Amino acid sequence: MSPNTYSLTAVSARDERKTIDVTFTNTHTKKIKPFSFFPSFYLPRTSTTPFEKILETISRPPLQTISHEYSTQVICKTWSELKQIAQHVHTNTNYFPNLIEPERQFLLTQKWRYFQTFDEKLQPLNKAFADHPLPGLVDTLHATLAGARKHNPKIEHELRERMVGSHELHVPYTDTPLALNEQLHTLLENHFFTHQRAAPIHTQKYATANEWSHAQRTHASEVFFHTPREGEGKCSCCTPTTSFHASIHEGSVIETRVIQDGVYIHTHNMEWSEKYHAQHASKEKRLARQKEFGLSTCPIGPLFRNEKIILPIHEAREEIKQGTLTAENNSTQTYWKCARQPFTMEKLQQTLNERIHVHETQQNMLTQPYLNQYQLAYTKHAAQDPLLQLHSLATRKTTEWVANLPNYGIYHSNPWTDATHTQLVERAVLRE
């Protein structure tokens, strides 16, 4: 590594100067460079909550708004002013915007990270964890880690955890280490801020999640990232031409028309069955048919010619194949995959997979000299390389986040649970 390279080691907001001061260090010197920066938050764009009208009534502190596809961005000159605006919005709507500290906002906006390497002109390089001193430590990074491994492995492990968490989550390494759910929460905060999305006004819990079987839980994890949120899954460029189109999300429901008399649908969806049974006549007929056929749920019916009924997409498809129903041209509750634009949660999965690839590439590059020199005994020597171990830990942690995000989103209360996303995942699971 060139002696003229620097590591980004600290970021500090200066409200009085309306700047973000960024500290760059190397073995010989430290540079602090101020950047002009105005913090912001995002509000949902909705016709039911008058955020725009409320913002128009605010004259002090001054603010600027920018309209995005799914949100309205509110920008202030200082962090303290932004918090005043957020409190005003909360007082008038009971919705509190998601506030990310200005230092993290700056890094996310610049696409910079703690411990990223910069050249002598302070331009970012695609490397991290250079052998420079950390703030508060005497020795360089690699010497500090090597010494800690020899004398106190627990401290060495904690320091590596702090550094990797700081690098990947854009938080200071001096902060208290985050538990796994806090790490996942921070990932979601960062992702939604980066993609100009606000937290939904109303979150919706998974009504049946605690009753899911192992297979259903597995399926929920599989569809979690590939399910649209509010405002997604309705693009005009990819509107499905038939109800059998592969792009239709499996949690969708469609409107159908009955083309025979006396039709019964043997649904496996308990929620659908109970709702229909409670709201329609002929209860005795349905109960008798359930008993006759040994069904686990009460069937839907009897249905008659030209009657319309909304069904989960997979059950509607089965009935259409049998010639009992035909699909109506109504896509109100149908969602589909756009061929051009991934869903918000898909983008998160892609971003994390890209981070895994970055660290795996660095691992392979750093491991190769040990493999060439020591062959089968290379692992013992590679395990002593501080830089390699940092990239190895980053790979493991990011892989862990990808695996645990669905569980966090489904089974833990959080401000990012979107009603559209929840309903579609739950419907997809309940077909199992």
What's the one-letter identity of residue 108? L
pLDDT of residue 217: 95
Q: Map 138-152 to HEC letters.
A: CCEHHHHHHHHHHHC
pLDDT of residue 378: 77
Which parts of 59-152 fold into alpha helices (H)? 79-93, 102-110, 141-151
Domains of the chain, earliest start first: 6-194 (3.30.342.10), 209-228+338-430 (no CATH), 253-327 (no CATH)
Helix or strand (DSSP H, E) at 23: strand 19-25
Q: Which residue has the tokens 């756009």?
A: 338
Specify whether the CB–CB gap between 128 and 113 falls below 8 A.
Answer: yes
Mean pLDDT calculated for residue range 13-36: 93
Assign 3 a pLDDT band (cuts: 50, 70, 90).
low
**pLDDT, tens only, 88-113:** 999 999 999 999 999 999 999 999 99
Percentage of residues in the chain having pLDDT higher than 90: 71
Residue 308 has pLDDT above 70, yes or no: yes
pLDDT of residue 425: 96
Q: Using omega within 30 degrees of 0 as the cis cutoff, is the peptide bond preceding 61 cis?
A: yes
Residue 314 has pLDDT above 70, yes or no: yes
pTM for this predicted structure: 0.91
Min mean pLDDT across 141-145, 322-326, 337-341, 409-413 is at 141-145
Residue 1 has pLDDT above 70, yes or no: no
Min mean pLDDT across 73-87, 101-115, 196-210 is at 196-210
**pLDDT, tens only, 238-291:** 999 899 999 999 999 999 999 999 999 998 888 888 889 999 999 999 999 999
**What one-character-per-residue DSSP string does 356-404 give?**
HHHHHHHHHHHHHHHHHHHGGGHHHHHTT-HHHHHHHHHHHHHHHHHHH
- For 310, the 3-state DSSP assignment is strand
Residue 34 has pLDDT above 80, yes or no: yes
Assign 423 a pLDDT band (cuts: 50, 70, 90).
very high
- For 301, the 3-state DSSP assignment is strand
Per-chain mean pLDDT for the chain: 91
Nearest one of 397, 393, 391, 400 to 362, comparing CA atoms: 391
Assign 142 a pLDDT band (cuts: 50, 70, 90).
confident
Mean pLDDT calculated for residue range 290-295: 92
Assign 149 a pLDDT band (cuts: 50, 70, 90).
confident
Mean pLDDT calculated for residue range 163-188: 94
Contacts for 161-168: CB closer than 8 Å, 24+ residues apart: 161/393, 163/114, 163/115, 163/129, 163/390, 164/390, 164/393, 164/394, 164/397, 165/397, 166/114, 166/115, 167/113, 167/114, 167/115, 167/116, 167/128, 167/129, 167/394, 168/113, 168/355, 168/394, 168/397, 168/398
Which parts of 137-213 fold into alpha helices (H)? 141-151, 153-169, 180-194
Specify whether the CB–CB gap between 397 and 166 falls below 8 A.
Answer: no
Specify whether the CB–CB gap between 24 and 7 falls below 8 A.
Answer: yes
Report how far residue 325's alpha carbon sits from residue 317's, in angstroms, rounded to the nearest whole number.
Answer: 9
Min mean pLDDT across 2-6, 30-34, 175-179 is at 2-6
**pLDDT, tens only, 358-387:** 999 999 999 888 888 777 777 777 788 889
**What one-character-per-residue DSSP string does 228-278 give?**
--TT-S--GGG--SSTT-TTB-TT-EEEEEE-SSSEEE----HHHHHHHHH
Assign 50 a pLDDT band (cuts: 50, 70, 90).
confident
Assign 422 a pLDDT band (cuts: 50, 70, 90).
very high
Strands 308-312 and 253-258, bridge-based pairing: antiparallel
Mean pLDDT calculated for residue range 143-152: 86
- For 157, the 3-state DSSP assignment is helix
C-alpha count within 13 angstroms, C-beta hemisphere, residue 267: 24
Report how far residue 16's alpha carbon sits from residue 39's, in angstroms, rounded to the nearest whole number.
Answer: 13
pLDDT of residue 377: 73
pLDDT of residue 302: 94
